[in-house]
Structure formats: C-alpha cells, structure tokens
C-alpha cells in the first residue's frame, strides 16, 4: 500500500537555525508529493508540492526535492523564524480512477524560539 | 477568491446522537474530500465526492456518510456518535483535473461527550 514516514518530533529550534524534516514514502505508481503546514487552531495550508521526479517545490523559503531513487521528499529551510512554529505534514497522492486521496505522515510539531 | 468554508466550526454532541457537517468548496472546484484528524490516528481519508457521486471511500464504518449537491457543496453525516468520533473534520476541494492540489478548510471540531 501507499504510506508516508516522516520525522515526528517535537522539535524546538532557535530563530535563524537550519531546518530539515525527513520524509520518505512507499507508493505503487507515481505519486505527487506535498508538504502541508497546520498552524494552531487552523486547517491545513499547502506549503509546496512536486508532481514528478527531480521536481523542486519552494515557497516562503522552504524547499523540497522529489527524489525517486531514494523515495524521499525532505523539507528544508535555511533560517527559521518564530512564525514558522507549526505542525508540518508530508503527504502523497496517486490518481486512481479519477479520485485522488491524500495519504499523510504523522506530522512534526516545530517550535521556534526567539 | 474565497477559500474552502466549513460550518459549524465547533460542535458538542453526546453519544448516540447524529451530526451533519457542511463544506463549501472553492468556486470552480468540483471535487470535495473529507478527512478525520485525531491525535492517535493522525489524518485519515474518509471519502471523496465529485459530480454528486462518491468516488472513493476510506476505511470507516457505515455510520460515516456523505453527499454532494449540484453546486458542489458537500455534507458529511455521522450517526450514532461514539466517544472515539471526537476529532477535527477537515474538508478539502480540488478542480479536479489530474495531479491537483487539495485545498483545505479550517475544519469542524467535533466533541462527543
């Protein structure tokens, strides 16, 4: 079956620190890969996506590259801010008969201290 | 463009009752999916609707049902509520067109007492 494994944390960093959140996947077929972020009391916001191998998604200083050979989609940011404190979810989707359901990792809570 | 809206935002019910949650997708989006988020199980897919038809269903009991209207708005219903149904229920919409992004609403927080 399809699954996503990601670092769960929680992780606490100081402002301006480097962030890496590891994400690996298992999938039959060719998934699209996503990072979503959830701020306290809110729904999920799309952070970035990649739909094929070697695609690099980037947004708000965050980057992730779709690595088919290692089945990975690690999230990185060079310098985190307090406002990046949130829960980060890695996810995949594969089209199946016109439907696309997201399969999520367990999420990683990040706290950034000033 | 307005985002995905969900109503109500908070609900408190007692065991055995039933509940209906509503989701209005982004204008132009015709597919609506529902997810359950709990601390123990994480985010789990419930079902997806497109053109008023259920296209896919997750591994949930028959107490969980949904429907979609001709204007793409969707509702989900949970009957005979159990304590374990307490969760954040998230709705997501997409166009669809293949390899689409799903955009999420703020969720409905259901508490079952």
Tokens read off for A68? 């088919």
Q: In sequence order, which residues have a C-beta less than 8 Å from that of residue B41 and are 6 or more positions away?
A: none
Query: Which one of A2, A38, A59, A100 would you mutate to disrupt binding with B, by most B Cβ within 10 Å of its Cβ?
Result: A100
Q: Which residues 26-85 of chain A have a CB within 8 Å of chain B?
A: 32, 34, 36, 42-46, 49, 51
Strand bridging mode A86-96 / B87-94: unpaired
pLDDT tens per residue, range A68-106: 999 999 999 999 999 999 999 999 998 887 788 999 999
8 Å CB contact between B72 and B53: no
Strand bridging mode B108-112 / B10-13: parallel
Query: Is residue B83 classed as helix, strand or coil in its secondary structure?
Result: helix
Phi-psi region of A50 (alpha: psi -120 to 50; beta: other; left: phi over 0): beta
Q: Which residues of B touch A89 (CB under 8 A)?
A: 43
A68 alpha-carbon distance from chain centroid: 15
pLDDT tens per residue, range A19-72: 999 999 999 888 999 999 999 989 999 999 999 999 999 999 999 999 999 999
Are A45 and B98 a contacting pair at CB < 8 A?
no
């Amino acid at each position: 079956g399809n699954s996503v494994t990601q670092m769960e944390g929680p992780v606490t960093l100081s402002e301006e620190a480097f962030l890496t959140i590891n994400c690996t996947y298992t999938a039959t077929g060719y998934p699209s890969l996503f990072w979503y972020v959830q701020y306290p009391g809110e729904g999920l916001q799309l952070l970035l996506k990649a739909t094929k191998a070697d695609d690099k998604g980037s947004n708000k200083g965050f980057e992730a590259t779709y690595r088919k050979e290692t089945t990975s989609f690690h999230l990185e940011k060079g310098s985190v801010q307090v406002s990046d404190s949130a829960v980060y979810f890695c996810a995949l989707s594969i089209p199946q008969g016109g439907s696309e359901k997201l399969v999520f990792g367990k999420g990683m809570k990040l706290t950034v201290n000033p | 463009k307005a985002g995905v809206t969900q109503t109500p935002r908070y609900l408190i019910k007692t065991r055995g009752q039933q509940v209906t949650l509503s989701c209005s997708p982004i204008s132009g989006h015709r597919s609506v999916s529902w997810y359950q988020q709990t601390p123990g199980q994480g985010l789990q897919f419930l079902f997806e609707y497109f053109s008023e038809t259920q296209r896919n269903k997750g591994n949930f009991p028959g107490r969980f049902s949904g429907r979609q209207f001709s204007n793409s708005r969707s509702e989900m219903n949970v009957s005979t509520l159990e304590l374990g149904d307490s969760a954040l229920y998230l709705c997501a919409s997409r166009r669809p067109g293949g390899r689409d992004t799903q955009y999420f609403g703020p969720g409905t927080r259901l508490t079952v007492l």
